[in-house]
Structure 1
Amino acid sequence: MGIEREGGWLAAFYFVYFCALGAFMPYWGPWLHAQGQTPLAIGILTAAVQFSKVLAPNLWGWLSHFWGSRRIVMLGTLLTAAGFLALEFSDGHFLVILLITLAFSFFWAATLPLVDAATMDWAQRRSAAYGRIRLWGSLGFIALSLGMGVFISNWGMRAFLPGILVFLVLAWWVSRHLPYGIPTHPSHQLRPRMSPVLQDAGLWFFLLAGLLEQASHGVYYAFYSIYAEAHGLSSSSVGMLWSFAVLCEVAFFWWGDRFIRRFGVPLVFTASFFLTALRWGVIAWWPGLLWIVLVQSLHAASYAAFHLAAVHWVSERFPGALRARGMALYASMVYGLGGGLGALAAGWSWAQWGGQLTFAGAGLVALLASVFLIKGLRGSPTLEKKTS
């Protein structure tokens, strides 16, 4: 398989995977509402999706040593699609929807960390840029977050599940062609051990920092649209702001590897945390149209720069056969636990103190995260040194 073709399959997977996610995230709550679910039930079902990312990626990352990443990614995408098909027959019953949600989330959480690990392996072998492959995911997210709105406007909420199902089936088909690297055969060689890198305190400071940084996004993902509309923006303007933020994310993914090479992971990492804090502070205290538009460009820092630096950092400390498990640990702690706790904390804080103080609090959380990040980056040895 040539380098262009391999990169094309990886880009295609990110695109269709994030098409499904872009259709899911903005319209999961409205679909549940259309099924007659109460606000409390919607909160529980949304949290179930997030918290499934805590344990599932670690389990699938461990199983990848035995089964191989290809088999797990194919299985995960196919069974996730089956879960969305099953939702068609849930008839609005909360417990049925909850069980199906836990099931499809468990399998959905298996796929992306393993593909991220495969992409980093491929990029290092081919001297290619991870960010220029990953940006296709952001483009897919934009395409379907906007496109699903068009579908729903024309056909109603009955377009929600089939629209996601199509892209999950495509993700399964594309996953058959991904370059997963050289498979390992446990019966013929020793599996590397995780214990040396898990003894590195810097790893846990990094994970705690990442958890807090992502937790600070909880108020943004849950309440930004409501907050912006409360300050005079129309629904269409809010949608354009979301799209603008992801376009800035795409731009950083395109050039981000150059930033990493020129300035290094620690500097890019640290800058992303401080700019995240600045982003939430501006939204809290200067919510006017001009500032709120300009600050959306900082999504390039709070998400794209953070994620790109994190993938490089994790890849350095979990080389070779351990990379899939390292990516799984990162995904579960940062996006699973951090995202879930952030969403719950944002809901509680919004009800107690309102939007301004909740966004201000998110800025303080991002600043606190930078303290742990600096401790994690300070002289953390690589895994190769520990196992040499």
Structure 2
Amino acid sequence: MRRLPYWRLSGFYFFYFAFVGAMSPYWGLYLKSLTFNAWQIGVLMSLLQVMRIFAPNIWAWIADHTGRRSSIVQVAALGSLLCFLGVFWGNGFVWLFVVMASMSFFWSASLPLVEATTLSHLGERTHYYGRIRLWGSVGFIVTVLGLGYWLSFRPVSDLPWAVLLSMAGIALLARWIPDAKITTPVQAHIAIWHVVRRPEVMSLLVACFLMAVAHGPYYAFYSIYLVEHGYSKSMVGWLWALGVICEIAVFLWLPRWLPNISMVKVLLATFAIAVVRFLMIAWGIDSLGWVILAQVLHAATFGAHHLAAVALIHRYFHGRNQARGQGIYNGMTFGAGGTLGGLYAGAIWDGLGASWVFTIAAGCALLALLLVTWQRQQMEATTA
């Protein structure tokens, strides 16, 4: 991987997902400590995803037209850090809504641009992507385990300081990411919405949207669900870490096979496994064995799924459409999908109960499986 800024890109992923490792498992517990109800928690947690519906596309449009992705990543990283400081000045619902919304607007810009930059640096060697992305998983594990033990002895009010530290790391590493040369093959002149409207591309985006909906309750409420069923915070940290450890194994192993196997088949397998996984979480929460197995399957439902989806998006969106393609993918999946997943979970959590929330998640994964199966032949023909 000559001339590849490996450690600068890897370092960014490390701190970016260290932030996720602090927010996804523990921010809901922090909000609960402020006496917010399930609906309020769902709304506040969903803001991280709401801004990913449209903000990445705004930033990506600017990046694709200026060709200065790294500068925009720097501005976004600093902006999110400054906005987050507001959590130390108030803890009312309206105040935190404003703080998290503004912070998320800037924070959501970074990842799609860095994804596009990383893939541009790799060129034809996209199968090396997992070796860089795995450092994000390492950052997640370090944070989720460290905070799990820390919060077992310290109040959850310490959490904002850990989040602030990870955001400072993001802002620092963002300054060191170099821009990559953007290749513009013949296909680049195609208007981006002509690409999006292709049936196989729209099917991919909708299926990934449904997968994100399925994961919405997991990221917003899974820690609360575990604690309510008697698991300690340190055990919660280990369970989250287990899923990401298995994810790292996928990032190391799967890229060796990606050049020789169909990414569409990988995607289909991840949807099928997600159905099983969320049913395990729904109805096997009191069995540590089932919970552990469900976490192992995170390797497929996130790790393998993400690798396959990002690679397919990169193939569909060419040249100067690359950053916007990743922005559309992030907006529809982590943005719209994650938002809907978190909101429906918050709306029915107290009424129907957690088991039915995760059963609905399994149903969303099943719909995604059926959709991609329907378009499988066309998707494989256009990515061959």
TM-score strictly above 0.5: yes
Q: CA deviation at 1:220?
A: 2.2
Aligned-residue offset at 1:21? 2.1
Residue 94 to residue 316, structure 1, CA distance change in 2 (3 Å): same
Q: By how many angstroms is 1:39 displaced?
A: 4.7
Give the secondary structure class of the aligned counterpart of 2:180.
coil
Q: Secondary structure at the match of 1:129?
A: helix
Where does residue 266 of structure 2 map in the other structure? 268
Partner of 1:322: 321
Give the counterpart letter for 2:71 in structure 1: R
Counterpart CA distance in 1 for 2:347 and 2:383 is 43
Matched to 1:218, the amino acid is G
Aligned to 1:106: 105
Post-superposition Cα deviations, 1:130-182, rounded to whole Å, max 9, x if no partner, equal: 01100100110111122234555566455333332233222222222223212
2:335 paired with 1:350: no
For 1:160-171, list aligned pairs within 5 A. 160-171=159-170
Residue 127 of structure 2 contacts residue 258 of structure 2 at CA under 8 Å; is this kept in 1?
Answer: no
- The equivalent of 1:215 in structure 2 is 213
Q: Structure 2 vs 1, CA of residues 383 and 377 (structure 1 numbering), >3 Å: closer, same or farther?
A: closer
User: Which residue matches 2:240?
Assistant: 242
Do the aligned residues in 1 keep the contact of 2:4 with 2:122 (CA within 8 Å)?
no
Hey, what does 2:10 align to over in structure 1? 11
Aligned-pair distance for 1:34?
4.7
Q: 1:194 to 1:289 in 2, by over 3 A?
A: same
User: Cα 1:270–1:319, aligned 2, differ >3 Å: closer, same or farther?
Assistant: same
Tell me, in whole angstroms, the C-alpha distance in 2 between the residues paired with 1:145 and 1:260: 29
Equivalent residue number for residue 297 of structure 1: 296
User: AA paired with 1:26?
Assistant: P
Q: Kindly report which structure 2 residues correspond to 1:149-168, keeping only aligned pairs within 5 A, or say none.
A: 149-152=148-151, 156-157=155-156, 159-168=158-167
- Give a deviation string over 1:11-36, Cα, whole Å, max 9, x none: 11100111122122233234334556
Q: What corresponds to 1:339 in structure 2?
A: 338
Distance 1:320 1:44, change over 3 A: same
| 2:75 partner letter | L
Runs of at least 5 residues in structure 1 that lack an aligned partner in the other structure: none
- Three-state SS of the structure 1 residue aligned to 2:54 is helix
- Residue by residue over 1:58-104, the C-alpha shift from the partner in whole angstroms, topping out at 9 and shown as x without a partner, is 11111112332111100000011101123222x22433322221111
- In 2, Cα distance between equivalents of 1:199 and 1:176: 36
Q: Give the match for residue 69 of structure 1.
A: 69
Q: 1:254 to 1:3 in 2, by over 3 A?
A: same
User: CA 1:115–1:148 in 2, change beyond 3 Å: closer, same or farther?
Assistant: same
* Larger mean Cα displacement after TM superposition, 108-117 or 260-269: 260-269
Post-superposition Cα deviations, 1:279-303, rounded to whole Å, max 9, x if no partner, equal 1223334442222212221101100
**2:15–2:139 Cα contact (<8 Å) kept:** yes
Distance 1:81 1:65 in 2: 24
Q: What secondary structure, in the 3-state scheme, does the structure 2 residue paired with 1:181 have?
A: coil
Calculate the TM-score normalised by the size of structure 2: 0.89
Conserved? CA contact 2:149–2:234, under 8 Å? no
Partners of 1:232 and 1:40 lie apart in 2 by: 22
Q: Which amino acid aligns with 2:96?
A: I
Equivalent residue for 1:83? 83
C-alpha separation between the residues in 2 aligned to 1:369 and 1:290? Answer: 27
State how far apart, in whole Å, the 2-side matches of 1:163 and 1:114 are. 25
How many percent of aligned residue pairs carry the same amino acid? Answer: 35
Please say which of residues 201-210 and 302-311 is displaced more in the overlay: 201-210
CA contact (8 A) 2:80 2:107 kept: yes
1:350-376 deviations in Å (ceiling 9; x for gaps): 333323333233222211111112234
Counterpart residue identity of residue 315, structure 1:
H
| Of 335-344 and 65-74, the range deviating more from structure 2 | 65-74
The 1:376–1:326 alpha-carbon spacing in structure 2 relative to 1, beyond 3 Å, is: farther
Residue 23 of structure 1 aligns with which residue?
Answer: 22
Match of 2:128 in 1: 129
Higher alpha-carbon deviation: 39-48 or 294-303: 39-48
Q: Which moved more, 1:127-136 or 1:271-280?
A: 127-136
